[in-house]
Structure formats: structure tokens, C-alpha cells
Amino acid sequence: MEASAAAWASLNSGVVLSLIAVLCSMVWKNLEGLFFGRHFNRQARRLAAIVDPYLSVTVAEYDGGRMKQSDAYKEVQAYLQRASCDAGGGVRHLKAEPANGSDALVLSMGDNEEVADVFRGVNMLWMAYSEPPPENRGYWSRRQSQADRRFYRLFFLERDRDLVLGEYLPYVRREGRAVMVKNRQRKLFTNLSTEGMDDNGWWCTKLWSHVVFEHPKTFETLAMKPAKKKEIMDDLDAFRKGKEYYARVGKPWKRGYLLYGPPGTGKSTMIAAMANYLDYDIYDIELTSVRTNSDLRKIFIETTNKSIIVIEDIDCSLDLTGKRKKKKKAKDADAAKDGDKKDGDQEEENKEKEGSKVTLSGVLNFIDGLWSACGGERIIVFTTNHVDKLDPALIRRGRMDKHIEMSYCCFEAFKFLAKIYLGVGSHHLFDDVESLLAEVEITPADVSEYLTPKSDSDNADTCLADLVKELKRMKAEKAQAAQLRGKEVEAEAGDDEEE
């Protein structure tokens, strides 16, 4: 935003004229209402246009008596925030309000302050003002009456009307939205319901609680094969930019990722990196505390766009696996054969009923049923340590579109971690590590731990030596276990022969 002092001065005097004209027209209007006909009102307006060539547009904080802060107001406020902090904007008195969930302060124009702006060589003047709240005793008044109602008013010349209405105001809204996105704090939600006030000022039960999401992990610090990392980042990019594509092929704008692998291979870390990369919120669903399928649907509807919806350890969350279902079916069939169910089985079933009743079909519908299409730009991530346990229907492409295996630490990932943790790109122990990693399985979490200096005397040499020692120990253990297994097999074969 450019601001010009001359424009400011000229518009400023214009505003004074404008205010006088507004007063004049109010007087005229009242007179017209009392004594004259329509003809005189038109004359009054013509007279006002000669005295005051300026038009104004007012953006109110609460439009049409609604209790929700208007989007346009928030966008204009964000746009003017930049100008307010800019000395050229001419603002001398700023208003500071606490930013949600952080120590930072949001600065905005104080009451009756003005900001000059230039758009395509045309001068504009913004003014902030407030009014006391209405004095009625309705619900709105009870909730909001303490606060003044705030407005921004834009003054411009009549000849610039088309430019202002057609281009400048949409531009201000767009830029304001961009500022809001930049300043936005990302949130990590969990499905823990709380009581509180909604955006409209109504008391309600909120299905999600949140904290500010501040995980430091990014793709830059995530150790994995560079080609695989690039593939995932490209996939995320394509998704983010895919609005038109999804609309064209008639698919809801969402994508499912299945992250699977042993504990400590970076599944949760990957989710954090994805959220940081895309700048999305995270909704972490604890499935065991969702009571029914319809509750699951409700919490889904409450999620917002630009978010990652996560169900961690899906295999442990609930009885969703094909195998377990089959086992249960077989059990039921046996019971039916016996004539009646055993008391123990009945008890087990009752216990299950007391907890969550979310079923596999409930989760399938949640991922790609009709409701899943409401909103857009959502990523759904499941993580599991046992991909083979999951029902194929749950993870088929279309539901979980991309399957990503998070594996044990390879040499490439190790080199990456050594660079991050120790700042070394090469070392004489690297060869040992490379050959050992080809033989033993160690998670990136464990490698990270060995590469973390524990005291002042620790350095790259000591950390790498410790890691090599551990890898050698694991290798010896593995060889011992293999030897033991070989002996057992031999013994079993001997027994069979004897028999």
C-alpha cells in the first residue's frame, strides 16, 4: 500500500466537507420528512453533491443485526493493519488487542484515526470510528452490550465510484484475507467436547477443543529417502492446487493418506511436517471416545477446510479390522451351533456396547460417504503399525489414496540425521554405519537418540561411536537369535524323525 501525504491532506479536507455535507443532508432529509415532498429531497441531494463530491462506503463490524463479526469487516481490518503500522499511512494512535492464544498484540487504527491509501493513482481515505451499543435489552444486547460497535468508512471521489466498488474493495478484501492467513495461528484440535461461546455469541457445546499447533518438524528436518520425500511433497502440492481438478473430475476435494510402519519410524512426525508444509490445522480424532457413528459424522461436520484429520493407530482404536470381524463372526456361528451364547461372550459384548459403538461402516462413511463431501480441502490420515490387520475396504485407493511406508532407518536417512544433529556431512565411521544399517533394523527415533549429545563432552566422534557400538550389539543379538532359531528347527526336525 502506498500512501501519499498530499493525497491524505486533500482527502482529509474532503472528509471534513463530507461530514458537513452528511449533516446537511440529514437536516434536509428530516425537513423533507416533516414539511416537503420528494422533489425537495432530490434537490437536497444535488446540492450536497456540489458541496461534497465525496462518496463513502461503511463497513460495519456486525452487519444486519447479526451477532457474528462480518467477514468484510475482518478483512478490511486486516488490510488496514498493514497501513496502520506503516508510518506513511499517517496513523498516530493505534489500538492494541490481544491476539487469540498468543502473547502478541494485534494493532489496528484507533477511533477517529485515518489512513490514506492510493490505488491505481486514485486517492482513498479510510476512517475508523465506533458507536455506543444499542440500548435494547434483547439477547444481543446482553451478550454484546459492553462493547462499542465499530465501523470503517471509506471516502472517495464520486468519479471513482466504479473503480472503488468494482476493483478496489474486492482487492482490499483479497489482500485482507491474505494478511489473515499469514497471521493465522494453526491449531491442533482434539475431540474433547467443552462448553463455551460460539462465533455468534451463543452458549453451546463445542465438539472440539484446541491448542495452538507449534510442532517444529518440517520436511527439511524429516529423515527419509530424498526421492520419497519429494514424491510426498509433490503429491501434497498437487492436492493443494487441485481445486479445479477435483471439481472437473467430480470428486470431493479430499485425499486420504495411510502411514504405516513400526513404532518410531516417524508417522506422527510426518503428519506434523505435512501440516507445517500445507499450513493446515490438525484435527486429531480419538476414535475410542466417539460414542456412535452419528457422533463421528457430527465431529466431521465441525471440521474446517484446510485441515488434516488424523486417526492414529487405527488398528488399535476400535474393532475395525477384517480379521477381528471374521473372528467374531466365527465365534457367533459357534455359539449358534452350541444352541446358546456362552455367558462370557455375552459379558464381553455388553462391555463393548458400553464404550464406543463406532463401526467399520461408520468409519467408511466418514471417509467417503455423502457427508465426507461437505466442505473441501481436507486430508485424512490414518496411521498404523500393522497394515496387514486392517480391513481392505478401509484402505483401498479412493479412501486411502496414498499409502506411505515409514521404514527403518536407511543410510540416506542416517546421513540426513547426522547432518541435522551433529552438523557432519562425512566421518570415518560412516562406512561402518552404512554396512551395519544394511544388516540390522533400527528406527530413525533410536538413531536420533544416539546422535543427540548428552553432555558437554559429547561430540560427533563420541555420538557416532556410541551408535556404531549399539548397531554392532544389535547385529550380534540378531545372529544369536538366528542361531537359536536354527537349533530349535533342528530339534523339531529330530523329534519328527523319532516319531
Interaction between residue 444 and ligand ATP (CB under 6 A)? yes
What does 263 bind: ligand ATP, Mg ion, none (CB cut-off 5 to 8 Å by kind)? ligand ATP
Stretch that binds ligand ATP, among 5-13, 169-177, 200-208, 442-450 (CB under 6 A): 442-450
Residue in 331, 385, 411, 472 binding ligand ATP, rule: CB under 6 A: 385
What does 224 bind: Mg ion, ligand ATP, none (CB cut-off 5 to 8 Å by kind)? ligand ATP
Residue in 41, 70, 218, 448 binding ligand ATP, rule: CB under 6 A: 448
Of 67 and 316, which has the nearer Cβ to Mg ion? 316
**Which cell goes with 15?**
472528509
Hey, which residues between 132 and 191 contact ligand ATP (CB under 6 A)?
A: none
Minimum distance from residue 265 beta carbon to ligand ATP (Å): 5
Rounded CA-CA distance 318/313 in Å is: 9
Using DSSP, state whether 106 is helix, strand or coil: strand
Interaction between residue 407 and ligand ATP (CB under 6 A)? no
Of 11 and 310, which has the nearer Cβ to Mg ion? 310
Of 270 and 360, which has the nearer Cβ to Mg ion? 270
Using DSSP, state whether 53 is helix, strand or coil: coil
Residue in 176, 256, 264, 362 binding ligand ATP, rule: CB under 6 A: 264
Sites of contact with Mg ion (CB under 5 A)? 267-268
Backbone angles phi, psi at 308, to 5 degrees: -110, 120
What does 269 bind: ligand ATP, Mg ion, none (CB cut-off 5 to 8 Å by kind)? ligand ATP
Q: Got the DSSP string for 250-310?
A: T--SEEEEEEE-STTSSHHHHHHHHHHHHT-EEEE--GGG--SHHHHHHHHHT--SSEEEE
Rounded CA-CA distance 94/89 in Å is: 12
Query: How would you classify the pairing of strands 187-190 and 281-284?
Result: parallel
What does 222 bind: Mg ion, ligand ATP, none (CB cut-off 5 to 8 Å by kind)? ligand ATP
**Which cell goes with 359?**
463401526
The H or E element that residue 177 is part of is: helix 169-183
Name the E strands within 132-247: 149-157, 187-190, 194-197, 203-206, 209-212
Within 10 Å of residue 165's Cβ, how many Cβ atoms? Answer: 13
Residue in 89, 90, 266, 362 binding ligand ATP, rule: CB under 6 A: 266
Binding site for ligand ATP (CB under 6 A): 222-224, 263-269, 385, 406, 444-445, 448
